[in-house]
Amino acid sequence: MERLQKVIAEAGIASRRKAEDLITSGKVKVNGEIVTELGTKVSRKDRIEVNNKPIEKQQKEYYLLNKPRGVVTTTKDEHHRKTVVDLIPTNTRIYPVGRLDYDTTGALLLTNDGEFANILMHPNDKVEKVYMAKLNGIIKGEQINQLKDGVEIDGQTVQAARVKLKKVNDKNNTCMVQITIHEGKNHQVKKMFESVGFQVEKLKREKVAFFDLKDLQSGEYRKLTPKEVAKVYALEQK
Ligand code: URA
């Protein structure tokens, strides 16, 4: 659900401020009824009219990117570094759904659909994020259990839904661990491993919700199918 004034502004009819004036002066109808309350929430299924004319909803776009290293997850970088949005040629103002660090690679969704982004970013048991981490040491069963039982980062307890040791390299004293989490706190995976004594040397997100990197090389992207978009809407917790 999105705020009515935002939807009107995004349709290109008026600025956000002007959209608010249109609402308070009774020029806006939702499903045939005049709505004057600012902040009324509407969904993409609602029929919105301004001055008795239905608004043209902004064309929604949805992408899955295999983010390479050395790219910032933002729409504009003050240090003029390359951003994830620069990798996708479109005239629409898309933005990333959540964040991957500058040196993290892997699955990242981008869209101009705020409702879609909210569903994926809101803590939801059905939205898993699966990461592969290379650690500067070899993790023990006891530390894996600590991650699953809950560790404290930034004063909050977070749990890994699953942790699997995938590969051990005795010679280099490193290992590869797959970790699945539900939240998306800042630097969460790195901080979780730090809390049990490891530095993450490399981090890749293999999957977010049901989107994996099948057929996408680093730096490549694809559009989501309407079916995939509908499947994300079906994840919404009532
Ligand atoms: N956790 C991290 O520490 N970094 C990321 O980029 C994503 C999750």
Residues 196 and 225 in one domain: no
- Alpha carbons 16 and 125: distance in angstroms, whole number: 33
Residues 24 and 87 in one domain: no
Residues 114 and 225 in one domain: yes
Report pLDDT for 198. 98
Selecting among 86, 101, 125, 212, the annotated active-site residue is 101
Residues 219 and 184 in one domain: no
Report pLDDT for 68. 98
Q: Which of 74, 99, 129 to mutate to test the pocket of ligand 1 (most atoms within 8 A of CB)?
A: 99
Residues 157 and 115 in one domain: no
**Where in the sequence is the domain holding 95, given as residue range(s)?**
62-123+211-237
End residue of a domain, out of 37, 54, 71: 54
Residues 94 and 143 in one domain: no
Q: Which residue in 205, 66, 190, 186 sits closest to 130, CA to CA?
A: 205
Residue type, position 224, single letter: L
Q: Is the CB of 206 under 6 A from ligand 1?
A: no
> Which residue lies with its CA nearest to atom 4 of ligand 1?
187
Q: Do 175 and 168 meet the contact criterion of CB atoms below 8 Å apart? A: yes
> How many CB atoms lie under 10 A from the CB of residue 111?
22
Residues 6+ apart with CB under 8 A from 137: 173, 174, 175, 197, 198
- On whether the pTM is more than 0.85, the answer is no
State the total domains in the chain. Answer: 3
- SS3 labels along 23-43: HHCCCEEECCEECCCCCCEEC
Residues making up the chain, counted from first to last: 238
**Within 13 Å and on the Cβ side, how many CA atoms surround 173?**
4
**Within 13 Å and on the Cβ side, how many CA atoms surround 238?**
1
Residues 217 and 111 in one domain: yes
Residues 77 and 181 in one domain: no
Low-confidence ranges of the chain (pLDDT < 50): none
Q: Which of 69, 72, 147, 190 to mutate to test the pocket of ligand 1 (most atoms within 8 A of CB)?
A: 190
Residues 140 and 168 in one domain: yes
Instruction: Provide the CA 48 distance to its chain's centre, in angstroms.
Output: 27
Residues 142 and 178 in one domain: yes
Measured from the Cα of 103, ligand 1's closest atom is 6
Residues 47 and 162 in one domain: no
The verdict on whether 101 is a catalytic residue reads yes
Residues 204 and 215 in one domain: no
pLDDT in tens, 122-170: 877 889 999 999 999 999 999 999 999 999 999 999 999 999 999 999 9
The H or E element containing residue 231 is: helix 226-233
